[in-house]
Each structure stands twice: as C-alpha cells, then as structure tokens.
Amino acid sequence: MQTIELGRTGQHVSRLALGAMQMGNATGEEDSFRILDRYFEVGGSFVDTANCYEWWARRDSRGGESEELLGRWMRRGNRRDEVFLATKATALPHYSPDLWAADGTPDWELARRTFEGAGAETLRNALDGSLKRLGTDHVDLFYVHVDDRNTPLEETLEALAGLVRSGKVRHLGWSNVRTWRLERIRGLCRANGWPLPVAIQQQHSYLRANPGADSASIVDGEQLDYLREHDDQTLVAYSPILKGIYDSAAKRAEHWVFSSYGGPDTDARLAALLEVADEVGVTPNQLVLAWLMHQSAPRVLPLIGPRTPEQFEDMLPALDVKLSDEQLSRLDTAGV
C-alpha cells in the first residue's frame, strides 16, 4: 500500500484509512480482529475511531466500544507502535433515557441538540477517557468531531494546543465543518501560535451533492478550492462509497444516503464511472476508491468502514488500479 503525507507534517500514513466505527457492535470482536489483522498485512497503518462509537447501537450505551476493542487488539499483538491512531471527541450526546425510543432506536434529533461540544474541560476529559479505553498514553490524531459553534473557538483551540504540548496528542483534526470556519481557525492558530489542524475529515465521494443539499459534513466546490490552496490540511474522506450505492441501482433507489447526491450531473457521472470500471475490470465501488486515491488537488485520503471481512476484501482491488490521464479526465469532467 502506498502512503500519503498528512498535511505538511512529514508524517506519512497509509493511502487508505480504516474506520473502526462499527467494531465492537455491528462487527463482533472476532471479525473486527480479522479485518484489522488483514489491513495491517496489506500495509495499512491509519485507524480511525471516536469516543462516541457506537452509543446508538444499544440502549444506555455511552459509546467507547470501538476504542475498547482497538485497545484489546493492540495489546494482544503489542501493536501500538504500528498504528497511526486517530480518535475524536465532541459528538457524544449528554445522557438521557430519551435518547432511545421504546423499541431501542436512537433519537438523532435530540442527540444533535445535546452533543457534548468542544469546551476546554470537555475535551480534556474526553481525551483522558479515550486514552484509558485505548490503553495508550497518546493518540496520533485528535479530531473535533462535530464543529461546536456555541463554544468560542479561542477556548477550543487553546485547549487543543495544551493537549499537544502535554504529549497526549501529536496532531489535530477537524470534522463536519464549514469552509469559513476553517479559515477562522487558521487565522486564530496563526495569531496565537497554536497548532493548525492538519486533517479535515468530511463526507466526500465521486458523486457531487445536489444543489439543495445544505450540510457542513459534505464537501462542496468551495471547500475543495480552499483545500487546494491550503495543502497543509489533508482531506480525509469518510463514506467514500456512500454505503456501497455505486454497485447497486436498487440501493441507490432506496438508501437514504443517496438523497443528498441526486444532482443534475448524477446520471452523467454514474455513466462515466460504469464505463471506466468496465475498462479496468473493477467494480464501481472499487473505482471510486481508486479515483479518490488518484486525486492530487487537493490530495484525498479515503476512509473505509467495512462491516465484515468480506466487505474489506472487496475493497482491496482498488489499491492496484492504475488510471490513465484520459480515464481520469473522463471521470473528472463527467457532467460538467
């Protein structure tokens, strides 16, 4: 597996990151360990989790199951030094029994109104909890998971800088964030000598969001342009294959994730994708991952989240896809 530099830090990580969100819940321990072992076997290094994963999976959970599982896996093989380990804070909702309906389904509207936020004390406590569950004295990358616009940015950034100085965090990241906020963060970091977030984790894929989509989580044209101009921040693309919709017209018709991507150029981009996938002998899902890994302006680091070992294996052919300049041009300009 090839590597990519994180921002301009000199830190190189694997070209494909592994998301551990479902590990410890939807993905049991045995299958989680199989996925992790296989990922490192093929040259992976970058594992992503969060303190809130997955509070919504069962009533009264306070999250942390993914971090706990990763801690067990690292201890089992004494593998901490092999892992570029990322976790996140700010998105865990304050506990309330009302977070779950009678049938156990989560109340996302309530969760989004009551997330823990990015106050200084909250960040320090959240990180300490993550370190305990992970069984380590530091994480390599610590994200603000949900941009908190109710806490002054100065408070958040100063607290994050303190975590870096303490040695508990090596690098910082931000997720689910508007472009104008990134510029404000940059200005405050420059003015105060605070470390800049070097990873920006957003939802990003081959299809473009429809014009009516209004989400701080989905990359738009302005954000891509911003990141081209500021290559000291690497785009980490979560949900890169949009729950696998590229391989299935039926899934595109019924899956909620597609509702944000039914733009005017969708048919043209899907047609180009299917055509090139057939030429290179891979599935559309695999081609999307390969296309993202070919991007250089800005550089993109896809973050995959397989639920099963079989799903993980199905993504691996993307690592070997070589796209010609002509094929990349066709994919890039489809629907323009």
pLDDT in tens, the chain (336 residues): 999 999 999 999 999 999 999 999 999 999 999 999 999 999 999 999 999 999 999 999 999 999 999 999 999 999 999 999 999 999 999 999 999 999 999 999 999 999 999 999 999 999 999 999 999 999 999 999 999 999 999 999 999 999 999 999 999 999 999 999 999 999 999 999 999 999 999 999 999 998 878 899 999 999 999 999 999 999 999 999 999 999 999 989 888 888 898 888 999 999 999 999 999 999 999 999 999 999 999 999 999 999 999 999 999 999 999 999 999 999 999 997
Q: Is the pTM of this model over 0.95?
A: yes
- Residue type at 185 in one-letter notation: I
Nearest-10 Cα torsion for 331, 286, 139, 182: 20
* CA–CA separation, 144 and 173 (whole Å): 6
- Among residues 272, 288, 264, the alpha carbon closest in space to that of 208 is found at 264
- Among residues 237, 156, 145, the alpha carbon closest in space to that of 192 is found at 156
Span 3-263+283-324: which CATH code? 3.20.20.100
The domains of the chain are located at 3-263+283-324
* CA–CA separation, 105 and 79 (whole Å): 36
With 0-12 CB in 10 A as exposed, 13-18 as middle and 19+ as buried, what is 221? exposed
